[in-house]
Amino acid sequence: MSMRLLSQPGGVPAGTHQVPGDKSISHRALLLAAAAGGETRIENFLDGSDCKATAAALRALGIDITFPGNTKVLVKGNGAFLSPVQPLDLGNSGTGMRLLAGLLAGRDVVATLTGDASLLGRPMRRIAEPLEKMGARIIPGGNGTAPLEIHGRPFLRGLDYVMPVASAQVKSAILLAGLAATEPVVIHESVMTRDHTERMLQAFGAKTSRRDNTIRLEPKTRLQSPGKVEIPGDLSSAAFLFAAAAMTPGASVTVTNVGVNATRAGILDLLARMGAMVSLARPREVSGEPVADVTVSGGSLHAIEISADEVALAIDEIPVLLAVASIAEGETVVRGAGELRMKESDRLVAMAAGLVKLGIATEVKGDTVCVFGGQPQGGVVDSCGDHRIAMSFAVLGQRATGNVEISDCDNIDTSFPGFPVLMRDVGLRITEISS
């Protein structure tokens, strides 16, 4: 039975809420805790299937991981990994697969990384090529996709690498491999991408530095647990609450303890530019990550143009921004968004197809998408098995003229367990139906 969501119009978002822990940071905390000496307690861990798959893979590699609670994890790391007997199933997680490949490239192990049908279709040569330049042997599938066969080496060469695409996952894979490098690892980004890996490496004792868009990791790094890592609320999940409030005049939603890292907080700036009211309270740092209580209130929205640099700072939130654009006055143009075609689905095509079904004129040309704001109608849309597509249309349903039904929504659990329940608490009329 595949889960479908029914989103009915008329909800008015309100109240103060919390969202689950950050998915990107949860993955990184697990991986670095496994590679570090000592015991690490991870709190507010994302209790979603993607992060659980990474934990299961690390266990299969010989790492002692226990869950004292659903969102509490205890990792006893020693940096020693064992070659697993069976392929490691990363489920739907591109982050888990790419970052684990980087970590294992610098370990004396042989492992095969696999996943679900969606993950097996995602490009992996982008990590295989730099990791092989460092001395590991990485064998992707025939189309350059997973499964990935990893033949790691305990000592790797350094690397001076110019990133051909803006990807935090590729950058992170190289940095994690660089922990085993005998020479510095230097990475040049065309635009800045999320820096969670660099921040967490520093928390575990690695020496990293950034100058402009160049990141450097010093060689011969020995990681040591900081003892405790607290995961902030996931801004990518909070984005659905913020979008719901922004789309509704008179609505106001606050999310507490949410990550506001500047390298991925573009969603807040973009909503403000579209006419929503955005404010931050109690800014502070938690385990090296900036967090705050964020309030978004609705207003009269207008179209904007979003550049490639801005896309890089809101890569996971572009789908819900396209939903917001569908009710904004004018033509919203998003440029340089080609990386969204390489996610769990081709997100540009999936969003455009769904918006057109709901009566919103939308065009995709290469890496550019244009949305002509109007009045969404009711209808049935296909999420293409992509959690962010499903949740974007569920939020948009509150402003449609009729019910919006979204198919193939099972993968919502990968990033936002409890999404329908929380959104009902927020004030939206979203229910689950089976088919």
Please check whether residue 243 is in contact with residue 258, taking contact to mean a CB–CB distance below 8 angstroms: no
- Residues 276, 415, single domain; the answer is yes
Return the pLDDT at 403.
97
Nearest to 97 by CA among 173, 171, 189: 173
Rounded CA gap, 281 and 271, in Å?
17
- Residues 199, 345, single domain; the answer is no
Rounded CA gap, 298 and 2, in Å?
33
Q: Which domain holds residue 236?
A: 3-21+232-434
Return the pLDDT at 220.
74
- Residues 111, 12, single domain; the answer is no
Name the strands in the sheet holding 64-69, side by side, starting at the edge strand that comes first in the sequence: 64-69, 72-77, 38-43, 228-230
Which residues, other chains included, contact 101 with Cβ-Cβ below 8 Å and sequence gap of 6+? Answer: 113, 124, 127, 131, 138, 148, 150, 173
The answer to whether residue 316 is catalytic is yes
| Single residue among 230, 248, 270 that ends a domain in this structure | 230
- Residues 70, 137, single domain; the answer is yes
- Residues 63, 12, single domain; the answer is no
DSSP 8-class letter at 231? P
- Residues 359, 383, single domain; the answer is yes
- Residues 303, 405, single domain; the answer is yes
Predicted structure pTM score: 0.93
CA atoms within 13 A on the CB side of 339: 23
pLDDT along the chain (435 residues), means of 10: 90 96 97 96 95 96 95 92 96 94 97 93 93 96 92 96 92 97 96 94 95 93 93 97 96 98 95 98 95 96 96 94 98 94 89 98 96 97 95 97 95 92 97 82
- Residues 13, 67, single domain; the answer is no
Please check whether residue 19 is in contact with residue 238, taking contact to mean a CB–CB distance below 8 angstroms: yes
- Residues 37, 102, single domain; the answer is yes
Provide the domain count of the chain: 2
Please check whether residue 231 is in contact with residue 42, taking contact to mean a CB–CB distance below 8 angstroms: yes
What is the CA angle 229-72-174, rounded to 5? 50
The three-state secondary structure class of 151 is strand
Nearest to 194 by CA among 260, 287, 292, 291: 260
Here the CATH number for the domain that contains residue 131 is 3.65.10.10
Catalytic annotation, pick one of 47, 50, 89, 316:
316
Return the pLDDT at 1.
59
What is the CA angle 12-13-15, rounded to 5? 130
Whether the bond into 147 is cis, omega within 30 of 0: yes
| Single residue among 230, 264, 290 that ends a domain in this structure | 230
- Residues 226, 236, single domain; the answer is no
- Structure confidence by residue, pLDDT tens digits, 405-429: 999 999 898 899 999 999 999 999 9
- Residues 251, 290, single domain; the answer is yes
- Structure confidence by residue, pLDDT tens digits, 301-332: 999 999 999 998 999 999 999 999 999 999 99
Return the pLDDT at 435.
60
Return the pLDDT at 142.
84
Rounded CA gap, 364 and 355, in Å?
12
| Single residue among 230, 248, 276 that ends a domain in this structure | 230
- Residues 131, 199, single domain; the answer is yes
